[in-house]
Amino acid sequence: MRDWNLLLKPPNIVLFMGVGSFSVALYSTFSGRVSSRYRWVYRAEEPIVFWLVVAIYYLGSLLCFGCFFYDVYRPSE
């Protein structure tokens, strides 16, 4: 049986964070609402703020995926 604590160590936790951020970004894109700091922001009411927050989620997931693949497939020194 696998050691489950291994999944919570880098670089695996970075992959999980990237998948989570990408999932939230997809849900927000298709539902038209995103959670901001204290309230929901809707695409129809505040489109600039909505797309800014969604873009931050997508960029965060891209950063996490990049860090994961760099750690896994690091060039030999």
Task: Judge whether 51 lies within some domain.
Answer: yes
- pLDDT tens, position by position, 11-46: 788 889 999 999 999 999 999 999 888 899 999 999
Q: What's the predicted TM-score (pTM) here?
A: 0.82
Q: What is the pLDDT of residues 43-75, one digit of tens each?
A: 999 999 999 999 999 999 999 999 988 888 887
Contact 64, 21 (CB under 8 A): yes
User: What is the domain range of residue 44?
Assistant: 10-72
21: three-class secondary structure by DSSP: helix
Q: Give the dihedral sign, CA 19/20/26/27.
A: positive
Give a yes or no: residue 5 inside a domain: no
Determine, yes or no, domain membership for 77: no
| Number of domains observed in the structure of the chain | 1
Would 25 be classed as within a structural domain? yes
Position 1 scores a pLDDT of 45
Please tell me the predicted confidence (pLDDT) of residue 75: 75
Alpha helix positions (H), 1-77: 12-31, 47-72
26 lies in a domain? yes
Q: Is residue 1 part of a domain?
A: no
Q: What is the DSSP letter of 35?
A: E
